[in-house]
Amino acid sequence: MNIYFSVGEKIVKGRTTCPKCKHEFVLDVEKDKETYKVTCPNCNNDFTIKISSYDPNEKGECSWEEHGEPRKTILSSIKPRTNKPMIAAVLLIIVFCMGLTTAVFSETFVETSLDIASEMGIKGTVELLVTDQMNQSIENVNITIDGRTGNITVEGLFHLENVTLGKQAAEIYAEGYNKLSYEILVLPVITTYHEIKMEEGTEEKTIPFDALGCSLIFAILSVFALFGAVSCLKRKHFDVAVAGSIIGLFSFGFFTIGAIISIIAFVIILKCKEEFDDGKKGKTF
């Protein structure tokens, strides 16, 4: 009993017929073997087949099969490379430079940019978690921000929307504790959140805004935009390029300008997804 297989990888698939019950079935064998012992799944008859290479001109040859149908290979069409990844890379590099510049001169750019945004009517949201030194909530805490006063919840959380952007002093007072003037930076889009621990006493204290910490955050976020630019230049790791453009939104390079450029880069990256290599299996389709 002969059986013919198409020559493929190390394992090949072919079709044979049991000489006893004439039942036809498909099986996989190793390509390098000359003979192969087979058991018919219908009548359990044992027989040996001789394995030959596929010859379309020879009678009795068997075809490749997959789920009962001849195997078909579908190749994706090769699309020409465009300059879209390069454009996206340039835009993300601009975002990186803007973010880094904003980080170095954070206080000046922050105040100027937020003043412009405030004039456009953009507001921010503030959340403060006020507790004592033992992380316990404090009763009857009064907080004033941007000329507006409110009370905290039982959990010690203070939430205020439509706050003017820029530096704001949160005036915090609770009986038996030091009166605190806590400077915060109110930003657009994201909620400004701070955890504040009150100290017992009768003094008045001022905690200035930490410009260095703000600069460090802007610098770190800007680096992600640079990673995305490198991925675009190499046309590899589509997910890194997308992440870089999204995180670049929050690097606040010249604030609104950097965010707008990041959005444009993000759209361009999505449009040229098929030009990226995922680093493992070739093109990403």
The pTM assigned to this predicted structure is 0.50
For residue 102, the model assigns a pLDDT of 79
Closest CA to 127 of 138, 143, 113, 116: 143
CATH 2.60.40.1120 in the chain, residue ranges: 122-210
- Confirm if 159 and 126 have CB atoms less than 8 A apart: yes
Q: Provide the CB-side half-sphere exposure for 20 (13 A, CA).
A: 11
Helix or strand or coil: residue 37? strand
Fold assignment, 122-210? Immunoglobulin-like (2.60.40)
Give the C-alpha separation, 228 to 183, whole Å: 34
Helix or strand or coil: residue 171? strand
What token pair was written down for 203? 């003094």
For residue 67, the model assigns a pLDDT of 35
In DSSP terms, 25 is beta-bridged to 16
For residue 264, the model assigns a pLDDT of 94
pLDDT 10s digit of each residue in the chain, 285 long?
444 444 444 666 777 778 888 888 777 777 666 677 888 888 888 877 776 544 444 443 333 333 344 444 444 455 568 899 999 999 999 999 988 887 777 667 667 767 777 788 888 899 999 998 888 888 888 899 988 887 677 778 888 888 888 888 999 998 899 999 999 888 877 888 889 999 999 899 998 887 777 778 878 888 999 999 999 999 989 999 999 999 988 776 666 788 889 999 999 999 998 888 765 444 444
For residue 240, the model assigns a pLDDT of 93
For residue 26, the model assigns a pLDDT of 77
For residue 215, the model assigns a pLDDT of 78
- Confirm if 272 and 119 have CB atoms less than 8 A apart: no
Strand-by-strand arrangement of the 148-151 sheet: 148-151, 142-145, 166-173, 179-186, 204-207
